Amino acid sequence: MSTPKFGELPQMNVQNASLEELRAYVGQLQNHLIKLQRDLKYTLETLDYENIFDVGGWRVTPDQLASKDGDVGMSTEDTAADDIRFWAGDAKDGSPKFKVTKGGIATLIEMILSSVASGERVVIDSTGFHSYDSSGIERLTIGTTPAEGAKALIGRDTAGAAQSVYTYATATVDGSSRTGQFITAHGCVVIMDSSGSVRMLDAGAGGFRALGVGNRPQISTNGLSWNDIAYKSEVDAKATSGASTGSAGGHNHGVTPGRYLMTYDSAGVELGLELWVAASDHSHTQT
C-alpha cells in the first residue's frame, strides 16, 4: 500500500474578496477538512504493518522487525521453544549464521572475532582459536581442523612453527599404525592409544612403554629391543646391600687334605708339589 496523498487546500486572495466570496471560501475549507478527516480515518483504519516497508526497507509485523529480504531482524515471538530474538545472514526460519535466542544462547557460524587488526591479539574464527604475539606470529592454536589432526592444541615457536602439539590422530609409532591421543614436541612423542597402551618415545624412538594390564613396563634405547623393567621386590630378593647372599662350611672338593698335588702353569710347565688343605667356613656379602 502506497503512502496516501491528500489534495491541496483551496487558494484565495482574501484581501480583495467580498463577504460572499469569503463565506464560500470558508465553506470550501470546511468541506476540504471533512474530506481530509475522512481520508485520514480510512487510512488509519486500513493501515497494515507493511506500510512501513516503504520507509528504509524495513518491514514490521505483529511480532518482528525485519529487513526487506528477511536476512536480518529481531523478534518478540514467544512460544514454548527457545525462540530466536536476533538474527542475521538468512531468514529467521532458515539458517541464519548469527542468532541469539531468548534463552541467551548465541550462535555465530563462520565467525571472525579479532581484538585488533594486527600485532598482539586473539582471533576466533571457523578454524579455531588463534593467539598472536606482539610480532604478529601465531603462538597458540586451538584448532578445529589443523594439519596436525582434528581438534589439536598447538604451541608454536617465535617463527610460528608448530613445536608442541596435542591431537587425536593416527600415525605409525613403535613399528605400527596407532590411533589415539598424541602429544608431540621436538621430535618426541607421547601416545595414549585406543588399546589403552602408553608410549613415551624420544627422537631416536627409544623410551618407555606400558602395554596394559598383565604386561610389564619396558624400556629401550633405540626402539628396536625392549627390556622388561624389574620390580623393586625382585631386585631386593636378589641382593640387598650389606646382607649375606651365600655361605658355605669347610670343604675339600673331594681331595683328602694333607696330600701333595703336582701343579703346572698355563703352558703345562711343571711348578712343583703343593700341599692340599680344606677350605674354611666363608660367606659372600652384597656391596
DSSP structural state of residue 129: E
Whether residue 235 lies inside any domain: the answer is no
Of the residues 63, 84, 108, the one at which a domain ends: 108
Q: Sheet of 150-156: strands edge to edge? A: 113-114, 121-125, 128-132, 138-143, 150-156, 162-173, 176-185, 188-193, 198-201, 207-210, 218-220, 227-228
Pair (40, 66) in one structural domain = no
DSSP structural state of residue 279: B
Residues sharing a CB contact under 8 Å with residue 146, sequence separation 6 or more, in sequence order: 127, 128, 152, 154, 167
Give the whole-angstrom CA distance, residue 210 versus residue 248: 42
**What pLDDT sits at residue 171?**
87
Cell 646391600 sits on residue? 241
Pair (99, 128) in one structural domain = no
Give the whole-angstrom CA distance, residue 109 versus residue 265: 93
**What pLDDT sits at residue 1?**
46
Whether residue 141 lies inside any domain: the answer is yes
DSSP of 133-191: -TTS-EEEEEESS-TT-EEEEEEE-TTS-EEEEEEEEEEEETTEEEEEEEEEETTEEEE
Whether residue 6 lies inside any domain: the answer is no
CB 201 within 8 A of CB 188: yes
**What pLDDT sits at residue 209?**
93
Q: State how many domains the chain has.
A: 4
What digits encode the pLDDT tens for the residues 76-121? 999 999 999 999 999 998 999 999 999 999 988 877 777 788 888 9
Of the residues 228, 253, 276, the one at which a domain ends: 228
**What pLDDT sits at residue 220?**
92
Q: Using alpha carbons only, what angle is made at residue 178 by residues 173 and 183, rounded to the nearest 5 degrees?
A: 65
Domain range holding 201? 113-228
Q: Using alpha carbons only, what angle is made at residue 192 by residues 189 and 193, rounded to the nearest 5 degrees?
A: 110
Pair (21, 87) in one structural domain = no
Pair (127, 209) in one structural domain = yes
Pair (76, 137) in one structural domain = no
Residue by residue, pLDDT tens for the chain (287 residues) are 455 555 666 676 767 778 888 788 888 888 888 888 877 776 666 555 555 554 577 888 878 889 988 899 999 999 999 999 999 999 998 999 999 999 999 988 877 777 788 888 988 887 888 999 999 999 998 887 655 556 688 899 999 888 888 888 888 888 889 988 899 888 899 999 988 899 999 988 889 999 888 888 999 988 888 999 888 877 777 666 666 556 666 677 778 888 888 899 988 899 988 888 887 776 766 65
Whether residue 8 lies inside any domain: the answer is no
**What pLDDT sits at residue 244?**
58
**What pLDDT sits at residue 285?**
66
Pair (168, 134) in one structural domain = yes
Pair (224, 128) in one structural domain = yes
